[in-house]
Structure 1
Amino acid sequence: MHQYKLVNNQREKQSMTITHTLDPWQFAQDWQDGWNSHDLDRIMAHYHEEVVFRSAKAQALVGKGELTGHDELRGYWAEALKRQPDLKFQVQDVFRGHEMIVLSYSNQNNICATETFYFNAEGLVFRAAACHRTPRL
């Protein structure tokens, strides 16, 4: 696991300014490797203890679309991994924005998704949201 050194943003305590010391592609590789290992400790190492995570898949699986903290997030992801033992992610692209990174990736069924990550001053994700491709009807 790489350390992501970040510069604190004075406007918001948990926010930060991404600097050249954060390599978005290295984060993407670490994130992908964590998921593909199915090691929950390795996956959770990217996230602050009080992370807020939003996902429609969480709503469908555990009954709420916004999860707060390691315990809720770990519970959701443990259930997701249990239901999809062949789960694999492949990062397709990485987007860098103001105080955030967005990953575009596909899973083992070639279904596309994106995830947005906001980092705190310690380089941990304190807020994230996943969006999954919605087929056109």
Structure 2
Amino acid sequence: MKSLVASWQFWALMSACFAALTAIFAKVGVENVSSDLATFIRTVVILAMVGGILVATGQWQPPGSVSGRTWTFLVLSGFATGASWLCYFRALKLGDAARVAPLDKLSVILVAVFGVLFLGERLSLFNWLGVAMIAAGVVLLTARL
């Protein structure tokens, strides 16, 4: 069991499960408020939760101990996350969760492409086939037929 909890696959699967719950809970939660207010409330909860985890596990470190490069990329990541969440909640306000969430998962395809273009990662032909299949799945899940 210890090796399972130490694997990236376990945590990625847990992330997918929580992301699915996020879509369902958010769709209900955004029903009677603006999508931007819903995003703000969610963000405050996340901030409190992660802050509590850092303190409880002794992982807090002084902000000055973080390099400038790390700050730059984490701030950019924060802006991208915020923009993603604002767009996601707006989409949930307007559309069905069962269609919004799969379309949002086009990010998987973009991560593969950006990883190759910007990070020098390499994908095999088999991996690219998987990327194409995800794209096809998104089309099938979001189409109104």
Fold similarity call, TM over 0.5: no
Return the structure number with greater strand share: 1
Return the structure number with greater helix share: 2
Greater CA radius of gyration, 1 or 2?
2
